[in-house]
Amino acid sequence: MEKRRSVITNPDGSVVFEMKDLEIPEGWSQLATDIVASKYFRKAGVPNELGREHTVAALVRRVARTIRRTGEDFGGYFESREEADTFEAELSWLLVTQRAAFNSPVWFNCGLHHEYGIDGSGGNFAWDPATDTFLETKDAYSRPQCSACFIQSVEDDLMSIFKLVKSEARLFKYGSGTGTNFSALRGSVENLSGGGTSSGLMSFLEVFDRAAGATKSGGTTRRAAKMVCLDMDHPEIVDFIEWKVREENKVRALIEAGYSSDFNGEAYKTVSGQNSNNSVRVTDEFMDAVARDGEWETIRRTDGKIADTYKARDLMEKVSHSAWSCADPGIQFDTTINRWHTCKETGRINASNPCSEYMFLDNSACNLASFNLVKFLNDDDVFDVEGFRHAVRVVTTAMEILVDLSSYPTEQIAKNSHDYRPLGIGYANLGSL
C-alpha cells in the first residue's frame, strides 16, 4: 500500500471531489484510485478517527469478510473453518490485485452493518434461512442490496404504477438499476373504467423520469440507471420513439437562447426524458412487415381493437432517425430473445436491465462480477488457465452467497432471486491479451 491523494475536477478546474491520505495498492492507477475513493469508500458512520473509509484494505475486508461469514451462517459452502479462512483470503487477493471486481452495489452496501454497525431504514425483502420464507428487512444493511440489475413489471393500474415508482426509488438509492416494459399501460386514446379518457403512457413515463432525476440529485452513490421498454404495437409507440428527439430539440433552442449546454444545467433540467435508456421491442412479424413494405397495426390495451395502422417502414425510419439524432431508442429483438430463453415454461422475457445484458423474467435480479483478463498473464505472457479456473470458482461461490445475503425491493423479486439465482460473470481487457 502507498499514500495517495484523489482530486476530481470539472472542465473549468473547480474541484468536485478531494480526499487525502488514502492507502491504495501500489499497482493501482490514479483512475482506479479516484473511482474507489469517490464512489466506493464509505463517507460516514465508520467507527474510526476519520469517520470514513480511506484504505482499500478496509473496503475489501468488509466485503470479503461479510461474504465469508454469511457463507458460514447459511451453511453448505465450507466444510471447515480453515476452508472459510482460505476462501476469504483468496477472494481478498483477487480483489486487491484487480483480478476480479463485484458490481457497484456490493462495494456500496455489503459489510456496512457487519463491520461498522451501520443500519439505515428497512423495507426490502430477504430470504430467511430459518423459515425458508421471505421477510421484510428491519434495516438497510444487515441484508444489503447487492444486485446491480433488476427487471420489474407494471400493471395497467394506478396503484401498480406508483408502487413501481417507490421500488425504483429504493433501487436507485442503493446504487442499482432497473428496467420495465410499460406496454401493459393503456394509451391516451383509451377510456378509463370510471369514465373519461386515460392521460396515457407518456404522461406516466414523465413521472418516472422526474422521480429518477430527483433520486439522482439526492443520491449518495451515483445517478439513477433506468430502462424503459415498449412493444411496437403499443398505441403510443410513435410518441415514445420520438420522445427524446422532441425534448432535445427544446434543449437546442434553449442553448441557442443563451442557456448553458452543460448536461447538469438548466436547459436539460427543464425537459423530460433525460433519466432513462429507451428501447423498442420488435418481433419477427414486425421485421417481416418492414422487409415486404407491409402495414403494422397498434393495438388498444383495454379491448384489443386496432388503434392505428402505419407503414412498417415508416416506423422503422422513425426509430432510425431518432437513434441517429439522440442515440435512443435502442432495439430489442423480442422473438429472438424469447427463442433463446432458458426458462420458457415460467414466463416470457419482456424487458432488460438498463444496459441490456441481463434479459430474464419480470421481477428478477442479477448480481454481476468481472475478471480482468490481463492480470492472469504470467511473466512469460502465458495465460494462467488453472489460476483463472480457480478464480472463477471462488468468485462464483461468493456471488452464490450474495444472492441470499441480499435484500430486494419486493417479495416477488426476493423469491425469484432465491429460486433462479441469476449470476452475471463477465470479463474485461480481452483485447489486451
- The three cell numbers of residue 280 are 423498442
Q: How far is residue 423's CA from residue 277's CA, in Å, rounded to a whole number?
A: 23
- Enter the pTM of the model: 0.93
120: left (phi over 0), alpha (psi -120 to 50) or beta: left
Phi, psi dihedral angles at 318 (to 5 degrees): -65, -40
**305 burial level (CB within 10 Å; 0-12, 13-18, 19+):** exposed
pLDDT-derived band at 353, boundaries 50, 70, 90: very high
In this model, does residue 83 exceed pLDDT 50? yes
**pLDDT score of 262:** 83
- Per the CB < 8 A criterion, the answer to whether 46 and 61 are in contact is no
Residues labelled catalytic: 353, 355, 357
SS3 171: helix
| High-pLDDT (> 70) share of the chain, % | 97
Q: Write out the H or E segment, with its range, that includes residue 125.
A: strand 125-128
CB neighbours of residue 238 within 10 Å: 15
26/12 Cα distance (integer angstroms):
30
Whether the CB-CB separation of 37 and 6 falls below 8 Å is answered with yes
Please give the pLDDT value at position 34: 96
Q: What's the pLDDT score for residue 48? A: 94
The answer to whether residues 34 and 22 touch, using CB atoms and an 8 Å cutoff, is no
The pLDDT tens digits of the residues spanning 95-146 come to 999 999 999 999 999 999 999 999 999 999 999 999 999 999 999 999 999 9
pLDDT at 192: 77
156-160 contact pairs (CB < 8 A, 24+)? 156/184, 156/185, 156/186, 156/301, 156/302
Angle between helices 56-74 and 81-96 (to 10 degrees): 150
As given in the structure block, the three cell numbers for residue 294 are 407491409
Q: What is the mean pLDDT of residues 393-412?
A: 98
- pLDDT value at position 186? 93
The phi and psi torsions of 79 (rounded to 5 degrees) equal: -85, -20
User: Would you say residue 164 has pLDDT above 90?
Assistant: yes
What sign for the dihedral angle of Cα 129, 131, 134, 139?
negative
Query: pLDDT above 90 covers what percent of the chain?
Result: 88
pLDDT digits (tens, 9 = 90+) for 170-190: 999 999 999 999 999 999 878
Residue 218 has pLDDT above 90, yes or no: no
Domains, the chain, in order of start with CATH, read 41-141+363-432 (no CATH), 154-360 (3.20.70.20)
Q: Is the pLDDT of residue 361 over 90?
A: yes
Residue 338 to residue 66: CA distance in whole angstroms: 37
Q: What is the model's pLDDT at position 220?
A: 60
Please answer whether residues 35 and 222 qualify as being in contact, where contact means their C-beta atoms are separated by less than 8 angstroms. Answer: no
Distance between CA atoms of residues 169 and 74, nearest Å: 29
**Residue 401 identity (one-letter amino acid):** I
Q: How confident is the model over 17-36, as pLDDT tens digits?
A: 999 999 999 999 999 999 99
- DSSP per residue over 117-162, as a string? --------EEEETTTTEEEE-SSSSSS-----EEEE---SSHHHHH
Rounded to whole angstroms, how far apart are CA atoms 422 and 234? 30
Residue 219: per-residue pLDDT: 52
